[in-house]
A = this chain, B = another copy of it.
Amino acid sequence: MSLDAVLARVDADLDAATGRLMELLRIPSISTDPAFKADCSKAADWLVRELTALGFDASARPTPGHPMVVAHGGGDGPHVLFYGHYDVQPVDPLDLWHRDPFDPAIEETPKGKVIRGRGAADDKGQLMTFVEACRAWKAETGTLPARVTIFFEGEEESGSPSLIPFLEENADELRADIALICDTGLFDPETPAIVTQLRGLLGEEIRVTGPSLDLHSGMYGGIAMNPIRALTRVLAGLHDDNGVIQVPGFYDDVAELSPELKAQWDALGFDEARFLGDVGLSGKAGEAGRSGLEMIWSRPTAEINGIWGGYTGAGFKTVLPSEAHAKVSFRLVSGQDPLKLRESFRAWVRERLPADCEVSFTDHGASPAGHMDTGHPAFEVARAALSAEWPKPAAFIGCGGSIPVAGYFKSHLGMDALLAGFGNDDDAVHSPNEKYNLSSFHRGIRAWARVLGGLSA
């Protein structure tokens, strides 16, 4: 049977596949920083070359930002669109990395071999699992068992400004029977997962201004309003002592988890102590009385992602700054309207500022939460494929992150999406020393090979 031969080919080719991933990881495609614009194009071109060599009709399509990679291959059978992103997060703080983030290596760890480097897990390692699965099918059978469109984005880590226009302009070309999105993780190292609900995201930047220039605290300290003081007082009120978010109306459209789903999630045996202990924490910081999985998957959040103002260098400077800043984001759940909450948040901030402080806001994106339709046959195909590769059966889970593209595929192309990925909680995505387990890479390739075979069955 060809699937067995394809899987054997995957196993035999693993070292070479790892080497190809390393090449891609060496390209510092940080999409949010204009200094790396050429590197983003380089990563897109590298992917086009790889896909072309596999027989895809591949091209890098220019956008006002970074290029999109689109490739068509295979022939008969159901039509799937595979999505991943080749851009990566910035690497600061660089001094916490134990190696150059863009000089990847295989490292031995107590938990097995890992591929270390920025983007290893998010999302270059993951997107390459699908490319390598296609390679194995092609090498073994001369073709692909399905009609495959590959779509790689280069702006996922910087808000995807070009995504919606690109989907709209290329809707007919990109529309498939279902989208496969590989940018998520396992439930735990032994349990693969298919994500059926995602949180949305609302990003806001706040700039509070006070005096018209920086002031000396000897001359003005005590009499003049300090914008950092004003900002900390506003932000400190985001949560009450029980972790409940205080923006008016924030929970109005938030539904309680259904008893069925709650039972399923409880049965997963989520180890809160381990999950938190792995990152140096001992207790839950969310709404009192909620389970850990609820906090991560089905409850909305408010987080201060960055704050800055005044003198932040070495030594000391007794300044009252003229402005202070923060980046705040909200993870949203099904039912919450991002645009309505943005207005509610901004009004709440304005109301709480003292006299002599002004505020301005910068919009950093707003996407609603997503709920997947698990009725499509691909869900059972994928559940079987993943269950065959990991020790425990695959679970349908929630995801605390926001993968807006899933929602856009639905809203702009009328296409459902299936989210399956192979990351682990300790991959340090967006952090120093990001890694991807070699076992995830290997099993991930095998799982996609099974999915491709299963879809055409």
Interface of A with B (CB < 8 Å)? 32-33, 89-90, 92, 96, 158-159, 185, 199, 201, 203, 205, 210-226, 228-229, 231-233, 235-239, 272, 275-276, 279-287, 292, 295-296, 299-301, 303-322, 324-325, 327, 329, 331, 354-356, 364-365, 399-402, 425, 428-433
Query: Distance in Å from the Cβ of A332 to the closest Cβ of chain B?
Result: 11
Q: Is A279's CB under 8 angstroms from B220's CB?
A: yes
Contact, CB under 8 Å: A317 / B224: no
- Are B221 and A315 within 8 A (Cβ)? no
Determine the distance from Cα of A225 to Cα of B92 in the docked complex, in whole angstroms.
Answer: 21
A324 to B322, CA, bound (A): 21
In the complex, chain B residues whose CB is within 8 Å of the CB of A199: 218
Known: A199-B218, A223-B296, A229-B239. 11 other contacts (CB 8 A): A89-B317, A90-B313, A211-B280, A213-B428, A213-B433, A214-B430, A221-B301, A223-B285, A223-B286, A229-B285, A307-B309
User: Could you say which of B224, B231, B296, B429 contacts A279, with CB atoms under 8 Å apart?
Assistant: B224
Given contacts A219-B400, A238-B229, contact A318 B303 (CB under 8 A): yes
A317-B32, A364-B316 in contact; A218/B402 too (CB < 8 A)? yes
Contacts of A272 in B (CB 8 A): 223
B310→A216 contact, CB < 8 A: no
Query: 9 closest A-B pairs (Cβ-Cβ)?
Result: A218-B401, A212-B280, A236-B236, A306-B310, A225-B285, A222-B295, A222-B301, A32-B315, A316-B364
Assess the A219–B401 pair: CB atoms within 8 A.
yes
Q: List 20 A-B contacts (CB under 8 A).
A: A32-B315, A32-B316, A211-B279, A214-B430, A217-B301, A219-B401, A219-B425, A219-B429, A221-B296, A221-B331, A221-B400, A229-B285, A236-B236, A281-B356, A285-B354, A306-B319, A307-B307, A307-B309, A308-B308, A317-B430
A331 touching B218, Cβ below 8 Å: yes
Query: How many monomers of this chain does the complex have?
Result: 2
Alpha-carbon distance A214/B304, docked complex (angstroms): 13
Q: Which residues of B contact A159 (CB under 8 A)?
A: 315-316
Q: Which residue of chain B has the shortest Cβ distance to A219 in the bound complex?
A: B400
Q: B285 to A226, Cβ gap below 8 A?
A: yes
Question: B312 near A325 (CB under 8 angstroms)?
Answer: yes
B281 touching A305, Cβ below 8 Å: no
Q: Which residue of B lies closest to A399 (CB)?
A: B218
A431 touches B296 (CB 8 A): no
A316 to chain B, nearest CB (A): 4
Q: Are B316 and A203 in touch, CB under 8 angstroms?
A: yes
**B317/A305 in contact, CB under 8 A:** yes
Q: Whole-angstrom distance from the CB of A277 to the nearest CB of chain B?
A: 10
Please state if A364 and B425 are interface contacts (CB–CB under 8 Å): no
Complex formed: what's the CA distance from A320 to B283 in Å? 15
- Chain B residues near A280: list those with CB within 8 A: 210-213, 322, 356
Which residues does chain B contribute within 8 Å of A401, judged by CB atoms?
216, 218-219
CB distance from A403 to the nearest CB of B (A): 9
Task: Please report the C-alpha to C-alpha distance between residue A306 and residue B317 in the assembled complex, in whole angstroms.
Answer: 8
Asked if A228 and B307 sit within 8 Å, CB to CB, the answer is: yes
Distance to closest chain B CB from A261 (angstroms): 17
Would you call A279 and B213 a contact (CB within 8 A)? yes
CA distance A364 to B279 in the complex (A): 31
Which residues of chain B come closer than 8 Å to A226, judged between CB atoms?
285, 303-304
In the assembled complex, how far is the CB of residue A250 from the closest CB belonging to chain B, in whole angstroms? 13
Given known A-B contacts A232-B304, A319-B305, A365-B316, A299 and B32 have beta carbons under 8 A apart: no
